[in-house]
Structure 1
Amino acid sequence: MNVNPKITLSARRLRVVATLALGAAASALLLAGCGALPDRPARAVLYDFGPGLVAGGAAAVATAGAPVAAGSTLALADIEASARLEGTQVLYRLGYADGNELRPYGLARWSVAPVQLVHQRLNDALSVRHTVLSPRESASMARSGGRVPNTLRVTLEEFSQYFEAPSASVGLVRLRATLIQTQPGGDRVLAQRSFTVQRPAPTADAAGGVKALAAATEAAVTELAGWVDATR
């Protein structure tokens, strides 16, 4: 049986063309599949109060303040707060919609919980005029028969960006401080006071809220430290 060489050649060409077409289609599908893969999820931006203190805050006091007075010792307890403020979410409220609801930013986090940030700033401010002890150090003094210093207990009641309008917000910080004297018969409250401070946010977003909360914290801490000096 004789085979027409022209027909055989045409069949081979058709097979080659078909193979190339299948390869191109497979490549197209592969590229389309790669394009359909989800993007890597965006990471949350981490915030803190910065490497130093804001102007007018405790840093200025530390530079020009009086040295620590002899025997001026104070125990600073861990700051207490609601469970929501013990997390690292940057929180805000929409006062013009529902001011009772705390909302978290999706891609903004504090580097540590706000109670830790506030505790560190308060410790720095108090250390300008006092020897500040931790609760463990104070308890150690008591066990060794030394004089037990007064204890400052602080509750962080509010720490959020409050939107008065969609484009206007403030950083709102509220602290309640209690100065306690430890006696053989039990603790005695020497004084108690609440501090509420707000500072305007430069922008209506998480970054602006963080700056406003840092400024409000510095103002509240400076005011609280002054109150401790006056109370003692």
Structure 2
Amino acid sequence: MTTAIRNAILITAIGMLLGACASKGQPTAQYDFGPLPLPQAQAPAAIGAVIVADVVGPAALDTERMQYRLLYADARQSRPYAYNQWTATPFQLMTQRMKARIAQAGVKVLSTTDAAASPTVLRMEVNDFAQNFDSATSSAGIVSLRASVFRNHKLVDQKTFSRSSPAPSPDAAGGAQALAAATDAVTADVLAWLTALPSQ
């Protein structure tokens, strides 16, 4: 191996190392659902107090990493954004949002530690929470969950809710905005369903 070739390999290796270090130093953008939208109509007073359990779901979503799917390439593969993440897990963000929106509607929201204060419990399990790309420039935030209402430890009703919201841009920022909008829409649906259930 000549000296020139050896030097070229060394320079290339150093360049790759510096590139890796530089990429590690790239700042990470963090997203949440943003401020609450304007309050909607007040819920009927008959609802009273509701215990809202923490949202649960698949282990793959129990992380702050933001993920997306390329439906036009391989819909079965979930891909993480390299330099973008949530400020908390999607389950934590959804729990906070659900409680805030339900309370905003005039319903007293309690935690599971206040079990003696209300016989009504709302439990929610996420089926899907994703930014799906139909093409390289078009995506939407998809939120699907199953909600169950228990009263005095007995199932009153159960229903699945799904909403989709277009992303304003084909990136993590657009995905965060779309998923926040889809979550708010699902929350409104859950609240409307909750208010329509019999009080007894």
2:146 pairs with 1:167: no
Output the TM-score relative to the length of structure 2: 0.83
Output the TM-score relative to the length of structure 1: 0.72
Q: Which residue in the other structure is 1:221 paired with?
A: 187
Name the SS for the 1:96 alignment partner.
coil
Name the SS for the 2:33 alignment partner.
coil
Does the C-alpha gap of structure 1 residues 67 and 199 become closer, same or farther in structure 2, counting only changes over 3 Å?
closer
Does the C-alpha gap of structure 1 residues 188 and 71 become closer, same or farther in structure 2, counting only changes over 3 Å?
closer
The structural deviation recorded for 1:60 is 2.7
Q: Which residue in the other structure is 1:84 paired with?
A: 60
Say which one has the larger Rg: 1
After superposition, the C-alpha distances for 1:173-223 in whole angstroms (9 at most, x for unaligned) are 1111000112xxxx3211111111001011111111111111111111111
2:159 pairs with 1:193: yes
Q: Structure 2 stretches of 5 or more lacking a match?
A: 1-13
Q: Which residue in the other structure is 2:111 paired with?
A: 134
Name the SS for the 1:81 alignment partner.
coil
Q: Which residue in the other structure is 2:29 paired with?
A: 45
- Aligned residue runs from structure 1 range 174-189, under 5 A: 174-182=144-152, 187-189=153-155
Corresponding pairs, count: 180
Q: Distance in 2 between matches of 1:41 and 1:201?
A: 28
Does the C-alpha gap of structure 1 residues 67 and 197 become closer, same or farther in structure 2, counting only changes over 3 Å?
closer
Q: Structure 1 stretches of 5 or more lacking a match?
A: 1-32
Task: Give 1:207's aligned amino acid.
Answer: A
Q: Is the 8 A contact 2:67 2:78 kept in 1?
A: yes
- Aligned residue runs from structure 1 range 5-24, under 5 A: none
- Aligned residue runs from structure 1 range 85-164, under 5 A: 85-127=61-103, 128-138=105-115, 141=116, 148-164=118-134
Q: Distance in 2 between matches of 1:229 and 1:66?
A: 10
Q: Distance in 1 between matches of 2:74 and 2:161?
A: 23
Q: Is the 8 A contact 1:195 1:220 kept in 2?
A: yes
Q: Is the 8 A contact 2:54 2:95 kept in 1?
A: yes
Does the C-alpha gap of structure 1 residues 137 and 68 become closer, same or farther in structure 2, counting only changes over 3 Å?
farther
Q: Which residue in the other structure is 1:14 paired with?
A: none
Q: Distance in 2 between matches of 1:159 and 1:45?
A: 19
Q: Distance in 2 between matches of 1:106 and 1:153?
A: 32
Runs of 4+ in 1 over 6 A off after TM superposition: none
Q: Is the 8 A contact 1:169 1:201 kept in 2?
A: yes
